[in-house]
Structure 1
Amino acid sequence: MPQSDLATRVSALNQRYRHHSGISVIEHALRDPEAGKLALVSSFGAESVVLLHMVSVTRAATPVIFIDTKMLFTETLVYQQELAERLALRDLRIIRAAPGEMAAEDPYSTLHQRDTDACCALRKAAPLQSALIGFDGWITGRKRYQSGTRAALDFFEIEEGTGRIKVNPLAHWTPEDMQTYMDENRLPRHPLVAKGYPSIGCMPCTSPVVPGEDPRSGRWRDQSKTECGIHFENGKMVRKGVTA
């Protein structure tokens, strides 16, 4: 679809749902022809249960894409299985990097030690882009409070360079909103949160966070890198200031 038409659709969607709640945005977006065919991309991380629950109670057959990098914490893998069963997710798609590409680019699983960007591109970004083929857009957990660049984040936006829509139902939520939703719906927390991991990625690149530190300071600690690169702007992977 031409970019101008996509921009018109996104503008119309934002106008239509600008006063809706997060769960209402999901409910309508999953049924609105203007939004097209959508998938939820989830890391099954610290706050992922909110969107997963919303999808489960609005349309449990929504495709849920989970990227198994083969370097995740065991706790994440167990949590993913438990949540999928508890929430009765009916179309969970576990994706991984192609074996041939893994053998060629990271045969000894040491790529993260010398080039974290390349490792994320191989294990996360490339598999996700392949998994999203056939979809018109995807649902993300991005929120305005996460960074200054998101201060004007809308419910619907164009993913530059891909021709897809990104849906951000939690754009206006605060950290308190997230905790309240989890409490009210009695949703299980990721077990690593209680151990000092407010942001959870791959095991080699995630460390605990002490009180007073930024919640994402445990991701790629002591590096300038802050993003795995699954979001796109101007046709390029975003490396900083964006979370899935």
Structure 2
Amino acid sequence: MDRMSFLILTEQETQLPVYTRSVGHWDHQEKTVRKEGYPSFQWLYCSSGVGTLRVRGEELPVTPGTGMFLYPHEPHEYEGLEPWELDWITLYGSQVEPLALLAGLTESGVYKVPHPEPLLAHLRHAQAIALSNRPLVGLECSKAAYSLMLDLTRYLSQGSGAIQESGSDRLQPVFDYMETHYAETVTLEELAEVIGVSAKHLCVLFRRSIKLRPMEYLNLLRIRKSKEIMLQERTVTVKEVSRRVGFETPGYFSLLFKRSEGTTPDLFRKWNG
């Protein structure tokens, strides 16, 4: 049975990091064409049937166990090639995009869901709340929307299909190279050559796999190595530590150390002494 609900929200609810204005379910949604996109993020999960999403000039198949994640204001269209069942929710708030990126939802597209039950439960829960006819249910529906986004980061970031193909197994030679050469000057191009890809493609693989850029990961590795040195060799200076883990200047080392650990190298050593 088709159903959809549009929520009444207070100003307090629109300040939440994630909230929703509408939820719904289609037993068979007709062809939808949005030449100017939609004003919010959307998540649409396919429970049965087959359809297609057209976005950025691509035609992407939608099958049971996949979801369409759509970015705001991006032209797109989708339709069922046979009767298809969709559950959907609109997503607003300052943390929707950061959580989406954390889940690997880097662009509008179709994403395979390895564990759909918890995600579908959030959608159905929000629908039930919205249809309850109780006043001011926006907060409860927004809690379901936030839980949905958190579980997307939990389940989708585990990877499947194309995401898994670009996962940490393929990057293991790069991780090994960093472990061996972290104390040296290492370039992005040098890391890309390890697995025979371009520097740009290496960045894509890193973002999909561990949600970091290659040099960000390398610097975190250097910070970890620096902590080991400071705790094992109590008399070594911060300047020497920074040199031994591959930083060109002690100032840059201290800046990244504080950004990562929330304290300076000297205080870290003191607190762990």
TM-score normalised to the size of structure 2? 0.22
Q: From the CA coordinates, give the structure whose radius of gyration is larger.
A: 2
The structure in which a higher percent of residues are helix is 2
TM-score normalised to the size of structure 1? 0.24
The structure in which a higher percent of residues are strand is 2
